[in-house]
Structure 1
């Protein structure tokens, strides 16, 4: 089994929030359903490189962060059904495109803490996970999930889901391998 995380690719468009509090709100998704009471957060599409001013490539998945998957137009239409059984799409307000944030709702107690590399605060609370090792038996073959140790953090994708998303031919999305049970 192989588990992946989102990874930015190339020079593609990105999203920013108009308000810092909104970015914090989007970063605190904790695998709780929000669809019933969701108010779309205003965002802007970044279409030029902040350093050089060069135009960026159009993205079906504009980058916001590794903890969030944002879908735009065709990404919503094609990838939405792939992700549907693992969470919900929350609309965002953007003047230049139809965009939505994927809110994963699956939490799996799949982290093998004894074999992972964890850094803890002096009081014992988790600070950061430097190396992930998962309990393979706790993860369905096809899944998008979070772990209880990082409910507001990382989102994990199993290889069949990654292959399906890559196979859609959409732009601006890639994944990096985080854990491979065969290499463990």
Structure 2
């Protein structure tokens, strides 16, 4: 079996940001859980919120990927994503775009190795650690969702990542979530290094601030840290929230809201090495 690597479909922070559509009657605002949208879909115009640098994969709402016309044409030529997505037409700034409705929903989570967060009644709440069963990901798969989270997360394989890189398309940040060659021993070592990094952050923190005070310091140009979380402004004054991943890189988002738990955390100013 080929080595399978899986990544989150995540937009680069330099991708054009599109504004959410304020029209509850249009299917763009319905749940995207893997069901077909073709018969009910009509093209709709999306406004640009921030232009930024990259236009191949405009950033919209999580779980609803968007591609440019030139990416779509390349996919058609290479017959990429056939049977895995529906291409739903959109417009933006007088240009054609396409939303990818991912209809390829797989039951491929390895529950024996994944770590599950549960509600008080014992029901599934989230994955604290997500591990896939490679035997349940069909050969040649490029893009898929999983049955547990079809509305909020899109995954892609190494095949899709290589295709994007070969065509030199810009606008995605590939955050790896699974590698079939990554053994349990390697996982344990990665976790040890990750825990050590968090401990170092804890040991080196200086004066601590409540969230409101920390947010004011961010507005003054400071980078603030709380455990695995980091917040800062970019060079255009826009607010970003980052989460430290297992590979010690940060995954950055421009949040619509701050998770309530972070409002209760203590924050400290990042030193030069942490920035």
2: CA distance, partners of 1:59 / 1:23: 24
1: CA distance, partners of 2:120 / 2:166: 45
- C-alpha distance 19-153 of structure 1, shift in aligned 2 (>3 A): same
Whether the 8 Å contact between 1:6 and 1:66 is mirrored in structure 2 is: no
Deviations 1:12-53 (A, max 9, x none): 2111123174899557201111112213344212334xxxxx
The alpha carbon displacement at 1:95 in A equals 4.0
Report what 2:15 is aligned to: 12
- C-alpha distance 30-46 of structure 1, shift in aligned 2 (>3 A): same
**TM-score, scaled relative to structure 1:** 0.83
- C-alpha distance 85-182 of structure 1, shift in aligned 2 (>3 A): same
Whether the 8 Å contact between 1:22 and 1:41 is mirrored in structure 2 is: no
Tell me whether 119-128 or 153-162 shows the greater mean CA deviation: 119-128
Report what 2:153 is aligned to: 154
- C-alpha distance 142-43 of structure 1, shift in aligned 2 (>3 A): same
The answer for unaligned runs of 5 or more in structure 2 is 184-275
Whether the 8 Å contact between 1:27 and 1:67 is mirrored in structure 2 is: no
- C-alpha distance 85-177 of structure 1, shift in aligned 2 (>3 A): same
- C-alpha distance 138-77 of structure 1, shift in aligned 2 (>3 A): same
The alpha carbon displacement at 1:60 in A equals 1.0
RMSD value over aligned CA atoms?
Answer: 2.4
**TM-score, scaled relative to structure 2:** 0.58
2: CA distance, partners of 1:9 / 1:22: 30
1:170-181 alignment, distance < 5 Å: 170-181=169-180
2: CA distance, partners of 1:28 / 1:14: 20
1:118-137 alignment, distance < 5 Å: 118-137=116-135
Report what 1:64 is aligned to: 60
Report what 1:142 is aligned to: 140
Question: Structure with the greater relative contact order (CA < 8 A, sep ≥ 6): 1 or 2?
Answer: 1
Tell me whether 119-128 or 133-142 shows the greater mean CA deviation: 119-128
Aligned residues: 177
The alpha carbon displacement at 1:178 in A equals 0.7
The answer for unaligned runs of 5 or more in structure 1 is 49-55
3-state secondary structure, aligned to 2:171: coil
Report what 2:33 is aligned to: 30
